[in-house]
A and B are shown apart, each in its own frame.
Chain A
Amino acid sequence: MNNFHNVNNINAMANQQAMANRVQVAIYNWQNGSVQDLINFLSRHSRVSVREPRIDGNRVIGYVSSKSDAETLKKFNGMRFAGNNLKIEILGGAEDESPTVKLLKGFLYRRYDPQNKMLNLGSLHTDVELQQKGLFSTMTTQSKMFPALMKLASKEPQIIVESVNLSDNNLRDINGITTLAQSFPNLKNLCLANNQISRYKSMEAWKNKFKNLRELLMTNNPVTNERTYRSEMLRIFPKLVMLDNVVVRDAQKMDSIFSFPFKIQPFFFENDQLGQSSTDFVSNFLNLWDTDRSQLLQLYTPQSQFSMSSDSSVPPISVKNSDQTPAFGYYLSHSRNITKISTESSIQQKLATGPEAISEIFNSIPMSKHHLQDEPDEYSMESFTYGQVNGFTITLHGFFDETAKPNVTSNKGRPRRFNHGSNSSADKKLGKKSFDRTWVIVPMGNSVVIASDLLTIRPYVTPAWVKPKTIVQQPQSQSQPQPQQIAQQNGMLNMPQAPIMGNAPPAIDSVQLAPTLQLPPDVRARLSSIQLELLNKLHLQTKLNAEYTYMLAEQSGWSYDIAIKGFQSSLNNIPREAYIQ
């Protein structure tokens, strides 16, 4: 674990230390100001900075770097902020933890190698500290230790684990460590060498659990002598490539089997012009759809058609954020899902032709709010020419909030209350829905006509094209998410690991600066912790030396945003000696 040979590691280690010591606090009665104002206010008065603040109901929750900081902050309980008396509570974190938890956490950070994303839990019984505390003295304490360690590790956002080493632990089976699959479902490498695992039956518990496990080491376990050992391991771990240092699957072939050749993209436009006009059309259309649907009717001619179909099939529970109890009460009576309707006449009835009929259905579906502007990632669009109509089609996939009941409730058909088992309030609750909508558009002079408008409403889900958020973005403070993203896009984010893991929290009492950022003590003393942190961040981002980092920060009025912009615009004029040598 001697990782002190390079700068990045020192920083990472310091970070880990700081993360392990941090304390969670809650602040109430802050609502008359913004969260940022609150954090600035507290830091001005108490000299304690609250990190990663987030709103949780009526309170703001954040972290301070140590117990003593938390105590300092607590002294400001009752202080007036924006006309209200703040209430500050210490929620816990380090000081609420039992000594055992503290010990285990400390142990975890010692055994975690951030460079290789490896958690080394090998030969735990030889660990001096654990031994002293008697944690591995008996079999029973040992069997409790593993799950506890893994649970703790999976709760620490700073610990990203791709590899786990559990060698030399006298394990007879995996019963004590099965929770590994819950803690690290995306584990890539696992070492269980030098244990006493004798039967693979116990490993059955991991079947279909480690879907990304590429490498498994089981050498020096009796089980490896079993006749069917290899085939059983291949069965239990579908993506295993290396077993005991031997290639068991052709990685290339395996990857091609498990990867869909048509990778998902959020947008397709046949040409740039179509892209621009589709985007304009969709944002204008949805804007009016959400505010005043009647204004849209001028886009429909007497021959234009609109119909809506509800697809109430519930997505599997393993689809992220999927609505498992969707309510389609407002849509069903108009739904033209022809897989669900048996008579041709009612299929024809549910097709609206011409503005008047279209307006009728528009008015009988709930009012909505789309989030094309504020959550563009949730939408996907394809647009291509449609020769037969001398126009084009636009298909939009996304979601909307149902904000209010429809203007007109339809009286067609039997009243709901005569249907057995219908529960009006549950059927008609308002919520989020996902949808697919296809417009067939024909340009006419300076305007367009909608020839066809097909809408599918379905239960809300996180869409397939949304990429999982990486840990890189997660711990960012709310105050400055922009510059980092911009920097990332510009390919500038060639930073050491530490700052990526969240805006480096200060060690015990003051801000932990990168070792290459050497500030004269008198300068340092003058600066607030927020300023120091900003310098540190700028320094890491720009690779400017201390003097120039300070100049840049000062010239930009200690605004990170402005500083980064200034830096980027004057890149060509910055002398070589301005950078870390």
Chain B
Amino acid sequence: MNQGSGNQSSILQTFVKKVLAHLDENNPQALNGFLTLFNGSGNCKIIMNATPIAQPMMFLQMWQEQVVQSQHNLTSMDYHIIPGSGSIICNIGCKVRFDESGRDKRGQDAIVTNTGMPNTNVNARPVWGSYHGVSIQVIVDDRVLRNDLNGVISGFNYNMVYKPEDSLISIQ
């Protein structure tokens, strides 16, 4: 039922912040930790900018390999515990900015060098661009409230709702 314990809101908020932190993670080692949050039974809906992605692993790999470093910032959140379904729907608003230094998550840039080897600078600081707006809906099992995070995410709908004109990142 929907009254629940006193601190369900803060548990859910912490959970959502954890998901966003995973998205902003640079270290490929952390990928597996993120993957365990998603329902692995093949019945997990993932939608990015209105494009469905079949497998959580595929999504996470694309995010890890093809998206530059990001920084998400939670700006709004609301949720409903749907009675009788064992699940919760969260409605999340956040803003995200990207590293526009021209380096990917491994620190490699596109500059052509004499040696033929790519330039790599892992410790270089990111150059943050302007914020994009994002709307996310997440469907999670209510086990999350009992601190069971294993495979709780069964729906993840991530959509950009506004984009700054001065960003170097193209989303179209």
Chain A contacts to B: CB under 8 angstroms: 208, 211, 234, 238-239, 247-251, 253-254, 256-268, 270, 303, 305, 307-311, 313, 315-316, 318-320, 322, 336-340, 344, 347-348, 351, 353, 380, 382, 384-389, 393, 395, 397, 434, 436, 438, 440, 451-452, 454, 456, 458, 461-465, 467
Contacts and interface: CB of A to CB of B under 8 A. Distances in A.
A438 B89 CA distance: 9
Interface stretch (B21-29, B30-38, B129-137): B129-137
Given A257-B68, A309-B77, A462-B162, A438 B45 contact: no
B67 A260 contact: yes
A164 to B, nearest CB: 21
Top 10 A-B pairs ranked by shortest CB distance?
A: A311-B76, A254-B110, A262-B48, A268-B50, A265-B50, A253-B110, A261-B66, A454-B91, A388-B85, A318-B164
Nearest to A256: B66
Contacts of A307: 78, 80
Contacts of B118: 253
Contact of A319 (B9, B63, B164): B164
Interface residues of B, number: 74
Interface in B150-172: 154-155, 157-172
B87 A254 contact: no
Contacts of B78: 307-309, 336-338, 454, 456
Given A456-B91, A464-B163, A385 B110 contact: no
A462 B172 CA distance: 14
B165 to A, nearest CB: 5
A467 B171 CA distance: 10
Given A387-B154, A454-B80, A264 B168 contact: no
13 contacts: A247-B112, A254-B102, A262-B53, A263-B172, A264-B171, A307-B80, A309-B76, A315-B95, A319-B162, A319-B163, A463-B161, A464-B162, A464-B163
Given A248-B111, A261-B62, A454-B91, A461 B169 contact: no
A344 to B, nearest CB: 5
Contacts of B103: 257
Contacts, number: 232
A386 B139 contact: yes
A385 B76 contact: no
A259 B65 CA distance: 12
A338 B79 contact: yes
> Which has the most chain B C-beta neighbours within 10 Å: A239, A436, A462?
A436
B66 A461 contact: no
Given A339-B75, A440-B80, A464-B132, A318 B165 contact: yes
Nearest to B105: A257
Contacts of A316: 130-131, 164
Interface of B: 2-3, 6-10, 12-13, 43, 45, 47-53, 62-63, 66-68, 74-80, 82-83, 85-87, 89, 91, 93, 95, 100, 102-104, 108-112, 118, 130-133, 135, 137, 139, 154-155, 157-172
B89 A268 contact: no
A461 B133 contact: yes
Contacts of B68: 257-258
Given A238-B102, A397-B161, A434-B162, 5 more contacts: A249-B112, A338-B12, A436-B91, A456-B78, A464-B163
A386 B155 contact: yes
Given A249-B111, A307-B78, A315-B131, A264 B137 contact: no
B105 to A, nearest CB: 10
Given A316-B130, A384-B155, A452 B95 contact: no
A268 B169 CA distance: 23
A13 to B, nearest CB: 33
Contacts of B7: 344
Contacts of A463: 161-162
Given A257-B103, A456-B78, A458-B93, A436 B110 contact: no
